[in-house]
Structure 1
């Protein structure tokens, strides 16, 4: 083993109750290297990282076979604490932040800096005070390394999910002994500009000699920053390649074992394009931290898929959240001629709107509840569906809930063990389908879908996008899709509204030029085209 190698995982095997999920996997990572680990959901990436990080789930299910060598020494890690002590850090998909604490307090949690005060000098070090000045300086340094401008004194509660991800990462790079950092889908909750900022920060971290294991589904990011790429499929090592030896399409094919095709929006020659306006939005302002909307006007046509795009923090996420009453809003919204009361989620739901949130795990799902209850609960609470009267009381109608859930599971092709399975145990793509199933159960006139493919693998992305196209083309549902993935918007939308600085810069046809989309994202479309008109 070369002197520069920081991690070797040799012939790793793991079984869960007779099901072999890792089949002799080898992984080698060098100091200062960005090593991408790719694979669809269920390929074995998370299990491999759980072994590396000494997670209890590995040891409580019989351990594993194989050898882990870290910094030249064989190790048998029994807990995350042991992993952190030898210099392994991990940024998880699920946030491990305390909402009531500040950014600094979360970054320095369990590594607080203390200083003497009058009482500690007399009665002992147990009465020492927190050195908030130094802790804030350290937090600021970590945040600046990531290129993120949030204030270190802000509370975590209320921050956009993208900023929460940066705080998670800042906490890891603040540690002084880190030799290897595992980034598990770090850009899944970030928009394009935020992701670019993070990728630049990763390069700086690697240049300082820290190795990075980069788990992601965004293959363009892999080609942008990775030095080495390892691909898993069905628990087996498929390939280990240098970036220069491959390309995006080959990586996609290696991951899924088949050629990946783009989602195509079928052109309906015999279908007259509907021009009826189903929703009017006028002077909408939304006070969503980090995604403020500053007065937009937008007409949504009946039966269309309209996309809402834009860079991070420009306000695109705030539009659906404001209309659905999740953040304070002003302005006017009309649906089919009827005014929708703002700042009232129940009114939005009861008047024919439904919402699939960008925060799937935080807002969209009851993770420790069954699939069937997740699908039914909103309609049960707001439309009194799936209830039966017993004496003077309403009770859940378990039979109707089960029948409806089984139908949704079949119609949406939700891969699960059955309607009673706990939602937390589904893959990201199938969790997203449960969110969509719950929204469809409300029988909406307009479906708002925010970041529908965030954090799911390349194969599941196509399935979710195909589902949205099916809902629109076959059932005539009007869909408003907010996404940071411009390519996805262009693949299925009829029109795309680009938001900059809280306002709509322009509305483009999906076939518009890359230059026009670039100008719109940068806020220069109106300026350039107004000059051309003159």
Structure 2
């Protein structure tokens, strides 16, 4: 491509962050109307590179960066995201940046609201303008229509399912008329296959109109489908640029991790002819906004890995959240023959049940605390472990030496990329934060583990580590695992049975070897068409 056709050129970018050299001499170029896929393992430097581009404070507060950025041929170094936005750069972050108490319309048009003039403006200034709600509604609808999704512009973000929040983020960027470059950071990580397809179609349509897009995703098939070129980062360096039409997911994955990626293969638990029922859910109702559960009945066999799948907003996430007491629930849940208390998280945790939430930042982590404390925190609170006693318990203090030792074991076994176990959780990449959440659950040595979206936002290399760790936990420790995921192939690679949720109910349970079409029919509520249900 001719040099003059490049909208963005990031040249020889280097960055040291918390004692780590996270970027080294990285060059990234984006043509006008081009979609470039940026791929790499968690910790490879993708997010840091985009934070530099977008002028986030965390970059300036840690010594800035080396190299230069040219936008439309002019060198820039944005002091804040506001400057980047003004210059025509938009970003949709992996972790949502929305105001929960505002509607979709209010979030889409935040700081760009349509207003009405009134006489008080002459006396008191522009702040006395009133909102033009009708015009704002029209603008929000227009932005949403570009995505061609069903999104209520008047719904509060706090009441939306996760997928709708993602569309709200993207619609916000589409409302900006000056946007030249759009950065999509894991835009489909929380979307179903159909929603992801809609998003990809919208992105390609925008590119055809001249918008440049940097597409960051761990779903390699999607990146190859939508991107014109791929830039592969590994350990903070560009290892290869590839044309999407001339490569394969396996080649890209191997470049990302620097080793061969083996296909997932499940080691099936020996459940037996008449398996023991370890968890019996009867007529469970859960009031989780966007993931309502409407009378679920489900029996879980001891020693199995049971998958729970389904489309976004159908209730699959509500089951674990309801049993664990994070949202109001009614019904009966029996664990090892004894009734579990509903709406009582401590009561459930104390029975030897652990939970890895899909919301790692809101539920899973103490972001301002170090990795080691995050890993052992629940074990300290619920099990009284990692505590030293003196005088029969009159004096107590934390066993920091043992805490560090255990944390280092999990850092190594889960391949958590960090400076040390004392690094704060907020400083980790999203995928490594997820691994800390898994370690936090494993240290409880649970008999039963609920894990929701365990590989959300995790690259292919880390995904294989996480799935293999879950298999090991199941196989060697006998832990019964109930795994909720939006990735059907992920469920099929590890689970013994897969329950599909539709409209808040279990609509069918299939073996992982069932025809993929049967899973699709169940997700669409067509259980009568499926004959292989077990």
Relative to the length of structure 2, the TM-score reads 0.92
The answer for the alignment partner of 2:40 in structure 1 is 39
RMSD: 2.6
The answer for the alignment partner of 2:250 in structure 1 is 249
Moved more, 225-234 or 429-438: 429-438
The answer for the alignment partner of 1:234 in structure 2 is 235
Does the 8 A contact of 1:429 with 1:464 survive in 2?
A: no
Distance 1:33 1:495, change over 3 A: same
Moved more, 314-323 or 144-153: 144-153
Distance 1:440 1:75, change over 3 A: closer
1:257 Cα deviation from its structure 2 partner: 1.7
Distance 1:154 1:467, change over 3 A: same
The answer for the alignment partner of 1:259 in structure 2 is 260
- CA displacement 1:69-96 (0-9 Å, x = unmatched): 2123333333322211110111122222
The answer for the alignment partner of 2:97 in structure 1 is 96
Distance 1:318 1:233, change over 3 A: same
Moved more, 56-65 or 34-43: 56-65
The answer for the alignment partner of 1:457 in structure 2 is 459
Partners in 1 of 2:351 and 2:87 — Cα distance?
56
The answer for the alignment partner of 1:380 in structure 2 is 380
- CA displacement 1:242-266 (0-9 Å, x = unmatched): 2211121111112112221122223
- CA displacement 1:321-371 (0-9 Å, x = unmatched): 111111222221110111112222222222232110011122111111112
Tell me if 1:214 matches 2:222: no
Distance 1:167 1:406, change over 3 A: same
Partners in 2 of 1:16 and 1:231 — Cα distance?
20
Gaps of 5+ in 2: none
The answer for the alignment partner of 1:405 in structure 2 is 407
Partners in 2 of 1:414 and 1:65 — Cα distance?
27
Moved more, 348-357 or 159-168: 159-168
Does the 8 A contact of 1:274 with 1:303 survive in 2?
A: no
Does the 8 A contact of 2:286 with 2:319 survive in 1?
A: yes
Tell me if 1:75 matches 2:76: yes
1:411 Cα deviation from its structure 2 partner: 5.2
Tell me if 1:319 matches 2:310: no
Partners in 2 of 1:155 and 1:64 — Cα distance?
38
Mapping for residues 152-231 of structure 1, pairs under 5 Å: 152-231=153-232
Tell me if 1:471 matches 2:473: yes
Alignment counterpart, residue 489 of structure 1, candidates 483, 488, 491: 491
Partners in 1 of 2:373 and 2:313 — Cα distance?
34
1:230 Cα deviation from its structure 2 partner: 1.5
The answer for the alignment partner of 2:513 in structure 1 is 511
Partners in 2 of 1:23 and 1:456 — Cα distance?
22
- CA displacement 1:495-517 (0-9 Å, x = unmatched): 11111222222111111122222
Partners in 1 of 2:285 and 2:13 — Cα distance?
53
Does the 8 A contact of 1:4 with 1:30 survive in 2?
A: yes
The answer for the alignment partner of 1:441 in structure 2 is 443
The answer for the alignment partner of 1:149 in structure 2 is 150
1:301 Cα deviation from its structure 2 partner: 0.2
Moved more, 79-88 or 415-424: 415-424
Tell me if 1:523 matches 2:525: yes
Provide the secondary structure at the position in 1 that maps to 2:160.
Answer: coil
Distance 1:451 1:19, change over 3 A: closer
Does the 8 A contact of 1:356 with 1:439 survive in 2?
A: yes
Distance 1:413 1:215, change over 3 A: closer
Does the 8 A contact of 2:449 with 2:480 survive in 1?
A: yes
Does the 8 A contact of 2:268 with 2:496 survive in 1?
A: no
Mapping for residues 300-315 of structure 1, pairs under 5 Å: 300-315=300-315
Mapping for residues 326-341 of structure 1, pairs under 5 Å: 326-341=326-341
Partners in 2 of 1:255 and 1:518 — Cα distance?
31
Moved more, 521-530 or 189-198: 521-530
Gaps of 5+ in 1: none
Does the 8 A contact of 1:103 with 1:167 survive in 2?
A: yes
- CA displacement 1:411-444 (0-9 Å, x = unmatched): 5454444332211223334322321222233332
- CA displacement 1:276-324 (0-9 Å, x = unmatched): 1111111112222222222221110000001111111221111111111
1:378 Cα deviation from its structure 2 partner: 2.1
Distance 1:16 1:434, change over 3 A: closer
Tell me if 1:117 matches 2:118: yes
Tell me if 1:367 matches 2:367: yes
1:113 Cα deviation from its structure 2 partner: 2.1
Does the 8 A contact of 1:274 with 1:301 survive in 2?
A: no
The answer for the alignment partner of 1:286 in structure 2 is 286
Provide the secondary structure at the position in 1 that maps to 2:158.
Answer: coil
1:18 Cα deviation from its structure 2 partner: 7.5
The answer for the alignment partner of 2:421 in structure 1 is 419
Distance 1:25 1:149, change over 3 A: same
Provide the secondary structure at the position in 1 that maps to 2:531.
Answer: helix
- CA displacement 1:361-388 (0-9 Å, x = unmatched): 2211111111222122223333444445
- CA displacement 1:390-425 (0-9 Å, x = unmatched): 788674423454454345445545444433221122
Does the 8 A contact of 2:288 with 2:327 survive in 1?
A: yes
- CA displacement 1:170-225 (0-9 Å, x = unmatched): 22111110000001111223333332222222123223321110011110111221
The answer for the alignment partner of 2:14 in structure 1 is 13
Moved more, 214-223 or 495-504: 495-504
Distance 1:24 1:412, change over 3 A: closer
Alignment: residue pair count: 530
Provide the secondary structure at the position in 2 that maps to 1:157.
Answer: helix
Partners in 1 of 2:268 and 2:19 — Cα distance?
48
1:24 Cα deviation from its structure 2 partner: 3.1
Distance 1:451 1:149, change over 3 A: same
Does the 8 A contact of 1:161 with 1:359 survive in 2?
A: no
